[in-house]
Amino acid sequence: MTNKLDYTTPSNWHAYDVEHIWHPYTNIAEPTPVFPVASAQGVTIRLADGRELVDGMSSWWAAIHGYNHPALNAAIETQLQSMSHVMFGGLTHEPAVRLAETLINITAESLQYVFFADSGSVAVEVAIKMALQYQVARGKKNKNRLLSFRNAYHGDTFGAMAVCDPVNGMHSLFSDVLPQHYFADAPECNNQGVADVRQVSQLIEQHHPSIAAVILEPIVQGAGGMRFYCADYLRQLKALCEQYDVLLILDEIATGFGRSGSLFAYQQASIEPDILCLGKALTGGYMSLAATLSSEKIAATISQGEPGNLMHGPTFMANPLACAVANASIDLLFRSGWQQRVNAIEEQLITGLAVCKKLAVVNDVRVKGAIGVVELNQAVDLHWIQPRFVEQGVWIRPFNNLVYVMPPYIINPEELKQLTSAIYNVLSEMTAIAPRELSNC
């Protein structure tokens, strides 16, 4: 078919986008604004009209080194000379082996097996399958449900949706066809960092004969509410899982690779999961890749059971280009002084966002590692708020009642100040027009 669009004029292909492309969580009848991007470099997104935006989102938390990084570019270019992809069924390649070795070396000692997937949601699907196959293989077919948490978010595929918050989450439309699991209240801790595990303890005690695994986002609940909780909760939960013969799956897709202040968030509790899900920043935001790691106990038990094989196999699993750039991203992370950078971002976010607390539309301000969150009293209207941030020269993508930033680790103090100032300025404007009803799209 002949291409009829004039792609030399961004307004032409932008208009086609508006008419024909579904963007994430959008309504084609009333689409939220989409801004054409011409290029990205460092922490700057350059729009087709020439405007430059400081990126506060790291492309949904993944581009921790910023954009167009020479080391990551080189990794893909070098790998491309040998092969872009081969199937992983019956074949293997050095980038995948090298990445598996690295992940095993930098995660918990008990995690000795790696399954490569192509997205975070799929990594969660694989983790759920691992837990269920493990229980079947050991003769416990009745342990076929999971325990998850309110405010949880684990992805948009069906197995992952089933362990997301069924009431306040994004997937209630599908509740009648999703597997039914148990849900505990969202993790809570007091001001002294002591966890309240009474309710989750009661659930596990009551239902452990049918619970295959508990699944949880450690320390930071992400897209379900951007909530932070204390390490003591993880420690006590791990003890409950061991006491009642339940596996612990930790979803570090959002928190892995330094975002929460430690390389992996679970390390703050000095525990080890039975299964660990990684994604997002795994490739530095360059390509879609995820990994599910399991203990030797789980892998051996599944292999000795029926049918003996882990029943999953994505077409593009362990893509060589993605594995190569993941190796380069992890190497770059360890060379970059990431801990000092994340600590500096945390300190500046605490100071820069504190002024928002005095605004009438703000309910709470919280910071953890390189994550800054301003929780509002009402949902935002993306039609209204998104262009305001662009006018301020920043890229910030709020959702529901949350305005938050997860910037690349390479951001400098001036760029970070622009992000926090923009949040205050836009929310000040929002305060001035309250109490107008604003609703999220």
For the annotated catalytic residues, the residue numbers are: 25, 153, 251, 280
For tokens 């604004």, what's the residue? 33
3-state secondary structure the chain: CCCCCCCCCHHHHHHHHHHHCCCCCCCCCCCCCCCCEEEEEECEEEECCCCEEEECCHHHHCCCCCECCHHHHHHHHHHHCCCCCCCCCCCCCHHHHHHHHHHHHHCCCCEEEEEEECCHHHHHHHHHHHHHHHHHHCCCCCCCEEEEECCCCCCCCHHHHCCCCCCCCCCHHHCCCCCCCEEECCCCECCCCCECCHHHHHHHHHHHHHEEEEEECCCEECCCCCEECCHHHHHHHHHHHHHCCCEEEEECCCCCCCCCCCCCHHHHHCCCCCEEEECHHHHCCCCCCEEEEEEHHHHHHHHHCCCCCCCCCCCCCCCHHHHHHHHHHHHHHHHCCHHHHHHHHHHHHHHHHHHHHHCCCEEEEEEECCEEEEEECCCCCHHHHHHHHHHCCEECCCECCEEEECCCCCCCHHHHHHHHHHHHHHHHHHHHHCCCCCCCC
Q: What is the DSSP letter of 371?
A: E
In this structure, which amino acid lies at residue 14? H
> Which of 98, 3, 160 has its CA nearest to residue 318?
98
CA distance 32 to 168: 22
